[in-house]
Structure 1
């Protein structure tokens, strides 16, 4: 990410902090949690949360690793499909990003492809969704405390501090850098250019050096499709029994699901 885009993100955060904080508090109220606590397993928390809104959350490994998530709303159910070909840290962030779009975005909902790259930040709705995600995954009180603890543990080394925070909150490196700046823990004009161009291999080496859990940097490849098909088949059989559906229609639904699944996986 270049410095000008980074500063644009921070400017947006400064101007819209209060509005997004109110939405974060509403989210915590809806899920029955305190807003000053870390969410240790965001997917576990939001599955039922999304279902109340009519969305199923699925994890499927995509062929295209530039896509972070797909979001689609049909006549009955909506689907949020997370790309498990990406590291766990990216999937965690994508989940929270989608919470904002589904629950808080103004205007008519439109199907979307979310990209897992720097362009993720270029539009106002994306700025807002990312600020929202950062606030949920890295709550201010906790984050300030852990920043100072990890900076002490790192003997003042900023990169080691960032990597320790990344591991602790299981979030992408750039989201940590942004959150530090949003909270005034660091300033963009005091961060050297190397911080904005940190490559995956360097970060991984730091994880190993600092005895951190580098598995969060790897793709889980978790695949919910077989479970989804079994559920559709189960309900389909019940509907056939009650004469709401016929065998031909159920087979067509399953066939179309398999075609779409194959396209997503690039098979």
Structure 2
């Protein structure tokens, strides 16, 4: 990502971070979690919250590895689908991004496909969701503390600091850079071309040298299709017994889900 785009993102952040911080507090309140608690497993927390909003969260290996996640509503059921063909570092960011759309942009967010999180869309809805994601998975006080810890042990190599923070928070490298600038932990002069331009292989090699867990650069390829089908059948049978659903509607929901899953995976 070039400096110009990063500056536009930071401008948006400076003008809107107070509002997004308020949304972060609302999210913690919805989750009934103390604001100072660590979110060690965001999916485990978010799955119930999004279910209560009518959205089922599941993981699939997308055929298109440029898509980070998608959100879809149909047949009265909403789906948040996370792409497990992408590296783990993209995972939490994509999930947090979708959480913002579902919880705080409900009128806007009905059917949407999100591209990989290195690609920041340049309009307000996406800026807001990315800002929320960065603030949620890289909390300010924790991030500042870890930034200075890693800076002290990295001989002032800002690139090593970013890589260590990426591994620690399991966040995209670009998101770490942006968060560091948002919190005024590094200046624009430190962002040389070599700092911003990197390949996965280069990151992996340096992580190996730093004794970091490079598996965060790998994809899990988890596929929840079978589990989701079983869950839809389970809940569906309960609703049928209670008179809220018919067999025809349940079969339609399951059929539509399986079709959606197959399309996402490139099977049809």
User: Given the alignment of the two structures, is residue 245 of structure 1 paired with residue 241 of structure 2, yes or no?
Assistant: no
What does residue 156 of structure 1 align with? 156
- SS in structure 2 of the partner of residue 266 of structure 1: coil
What does residue 259 of structure 2 align with? 259
- Write the deviation string for residues 21-61 of structure 1: whole angstroms up to 9, x where unpaired: 11111111111223334311111111111112111101111
Q: Aligned residue pairs: how many?
A: 266
Measured after TM superposition, the shift of residue 239 of structure 1 is 5.7
What does residue 63 of structure 1 align with? 63
1:98-113 to 2 correspondences below 5 Å: 98-105=98-105, 107-113=107-113
What does residue 140 of structure 1 align with? 140
Structure 1, 74-83 or 254-263: larger mean CA deviation = 254-263
Q: Say whether the 8 Å CA contact 1:9–1:121 is kept in structure 2.
A: no
Q: Aligned partners of 1:147, 1:162: CA distance in 2, in Å?
A: 8
Q: Say whether the 8 Å CA contact 1:121–1:127 is kept in structure 2.
A: yes
What does residue 126 of structure 2 align with? 126
What does residue 48 of structure 2 align with? 48
Q: 1:107 to 1:260 in 2, by over 3 A?
A: closer
Q: Say whether the 8 Å CA contact 1:138–1:169 is kept in structure 2.
A: yes
Q: Say whether the 8 Å CA contact 1:121–1:130 is kept in structure 2.
A: no
Q: 1:2 to 1:229 in 2, by over 3 A?
A: same
Q: Aligned partners of 2:23, 2:111: CA distance in 1, in Å?
A: 22
- SS in structure 2 of the partner of residue 121 of structure 1: coil
Q: Aligned partners of 2:157, 2:134: CA distance in 1, in Å?
A: 23
Q: Say whether the 8 Å CA contact 1:38–1:138 is kept in structure 2.
A: no
Measured after TM superposition, the shift of residue 97 of structure 1 is 0.5
Q: 1:32 to 1:239 in 2, by over 3 A?
A: closer
Q: Aligned partners of 1:109, 1:205: CA distance in 2, in Å?
A: 39
Q: Aligned partners of 1:26, 1:184: CA distance in 2, in Å?
A: 25
Q: Say whether the 8 Å CA contact 2:31–2:45 is kept in structure 1.
A: yes
Q: 1:258 to 1:184 in 2, by over 3 A?
A: same
Unmatched tracts of structure 2, length 5 or more: none
What does residue 197 of structure 1 align with? 197
Relative to the length of structure 1, the TM-score reads 0.92
Q: Say whether the 8 Å CA contact 1:167–1:213 is kept in structure 2.
A: yes
- Write the deviation string for residues 53-94 of structure 1: whole angstroms up to 9, x where unpaired: 111101111000011111012352211000000011101101
